[in-house]
Amino acid sequence: MISGGLPTVFVSDMDRAIRFFTETLGLTLEQRFGNDWASIKTLNGLSIGLHPASQESPAGRKGSITIGFNLDEPIDKAVDRLKKQGVRFTKEIFEDGSSRIAHFADPDGNEFYIIELRAEWQKYAPNASAAPVA
């Protein structure tokens, strides 16, 4: 059985990508092997691999993958803070019945999002936000 996984993001500049994920988004650098590989980690344990882009796996190919990050603060506060740090949001905060979502891109144009779940949906996502939408 599969017991875990590691989403991989293809990047054009390893130093720039690591700075974005650690300094801008606040994730932790787990390991780095020069410009060949790095992994970063969220507080709840999600690890993401950073791999150099290639012709077969270019950086920033829109629509092929997206990674969402749960929040431990209200989404409005997170969006304001990240905008001040230079994050470019690609859409306004989207609201549906279960959550509020804001999409953004890394320096290569890879798509990501942050999500704040409504309180009644917390039971379906045990690693979700500690600051749910009321």
> pLDDT per residue over 39-83, tens digit each?
999 988 899 999 999 888 888 887 777 898 988 889 999 999 999
Q: Is residue 103 situated within a structural domain?
A: yes
Q: Is residue 118 part of a domain?
A: yes
Q: Residue 134 falls within a domain, yes or no?
A: no
The predicted model gives 92-100 an average pLDDT of 85
Taking a C-beta distance cutoff of 8 angstroms, is the pair 79, 116 a contact? no
- Greatest Cα-to-Cα distance within the chain, rounded to the nearest angstrom: 45
Q: How far is CA 81 from CA 60, 86, 87, 91, 96, in A?
A: 23, 9, 9, 16, 23
Task: Note whether residue 132 is domain-resident.
Answer: no
Whether 31 is covered by a domain: the verdict is yes
- pTM (predicted TM-score): 0.77
Q: Tell me whether residue 2 is in a domain.
A: no
How many structural domains does the chain have? 1
In a domain, 1, yes or no: no
Q: Looking at per-residue confidence, does 119 or 11 come out higher?
A: 11
Q: Give the structural domain span for 46.
A: 8-55+65-124
Instruction: With respect to residue 105, please indicate whether it lies within any of the assigned structural domains.
Output: yes
Which two three-digit tokens encode residue 127? 């690693």
Helix ranges (H only) for the chain are 14-19, 75-84
CATH number of the CATH domain containing 31: 3.10.180.10
Share of the chain above pLDDT 70, in %: 85
